[in-house]
Amino acid sequence: MTAPSLAAPAPAKGASLIAPDARTRRRNASERRFRLLGLSAVGLGLLALVVLLTSVLGNGLSAFRQTWITVPVTLDAALLDKEGNRNPEEMRQVTTLGYGKLLEAALIAALAEKGIATDALSEKEVTGLLSKEAAADLRTAVLADPSLVGQTLTFRALATSRIDGYFKGRVTRESAARDANVTPAQLDLADRMAAAGLIGTQGNAGFLTRPDASELRPEAAGLGVAILGSAYMMVVVLVLSLPIGVAASIYLEELAPRNRWTDLIEINIANLAAVPSIVYGILALALFINILGLPQSAPLVGGLVLTLMTLPTIIIATRASLKAVPPSIRDAALGVGASKMQAIFHHVLPLAMPGILTGTILGLARALGESAPLLLIGMVAFVRDFPGAPPQGLLDPAAALPVQVYSWTQRADPAFVERASGAIIVLLAFLLAMNALAIILRRRFERRW
Is pLDDT at 4 greater than 70 in this prediction?
no
Q: How confident is the model at residue 118 (pLDDT cuts 50, 70, 90)?
A: confident
Residues 391 and 357 in one domain: yes
The whole-angstrom distance between residue 141's C-alpha and the CA centroid of its chain comes to: 29
Do 296 and 370 sit in the same domain of this protein?
A: yes
Within 10 A of 287 (CB to CB), how many other CB atoms are there? 15
Average pLDDT of 277-284? 89
Residue ranges making up the domain that contains 199? 63-204
Is the residue at 323 inside a domain?
Answer: yes
Contacts of 20 (CB under 8 A, 6+ apart): 28
Average of per-residue pLDDT across 49-57: 91
User: Do 177 and 142 belong to one domain?
Assistant: yes
Query: Is the pLDDT at 16 greater than 70, yes or no?
Result: no
Q: Which domain-ending residue is among 174, 204, 234?
A: 204
Rounded CA-CA distance 95/87 in Å is 15
Nearest alpha-carbon partner for 159 in 128, 119, 194:
128
Residue 22 inside a domain? The answer is: no
- 221 — pLDDT class (breaks 50, 70, 90): very high
Split into its structural domains, the chain has a count of 2
Of the residues 204, 236, 264, which one is the last residue of a structural domain? 204
pLDDT tier, 214 (very low <50, low <70, confident <90, very high otherwise): confident
CA pair distance 419, 220, nearest whole angstrom: 10
- The pLDDT value recorded for residue 15 is 56
pLDDT reported for residue 207: 93
Same domain flag for 236 and 197: no
Cα distances (Å, whole numbers) of residue 394 to 10, 97, 307, 388, 389? 81, 34, 15, 8, 8
Q: Is residue 301 part of a domain?
A: yes
In a domain, 99, yes or no: yes
Residues 266 and 144 in one domain: no
Read off the pLDDT of each residue in 149-168 and give the average, rounded to a whole number.
92
pTM: 0.85
Residues 252 and 315 both lie in one domain: yes
Find the mean pLDDT for residues 236-246: 92
Measured CA to CA, the distance from residue 216 to residue 160 in angstroms comes to: 9
HSE of 434, CA atoms in CB hemisphere, 13 A: 22
> Hey, what's the torsion of the CAs at 400, 401, 403, 407, to 10 degrees?
120
User: Same domain, yes or no, for 84 and 164?
Assistant: yes
397 shares a domain with 256: yes
Check whether residue 303 and residue 439 sit in a common domain.
yes
Share of the chain above pLDDT 70, in %: 95
> Residue 316 sits in a domain of what CATH number?
1.10.3720.10
Query: Alpha-carbon Rg of the chain, whole angstroms?
Result: 32
Asked if 179 and 288 sit in the same domain, the reply is no
Amino acid 405: pLDDT: 92
300 part of a folded domain: yes
- For residue 42, tell me if it sits in a domain: no
Question: Is residue 27 domain-resident?
Answer: no
- pLDDT of 449 strictly over 70: no
Whether 243 and 340 share a structural domain: yes
Q: Within this chain, do residues 288 and 157 fall inside the same structural domain, yes or no?
A: no
Tell me whether residue 210 is in a domain: no
DSSP 155: E
H helices present in 273-371, as ranges: 277-284, 299-324, 327-335, 340-343, 349-368
Domain C-terminal end among 171, 204, 237: 204
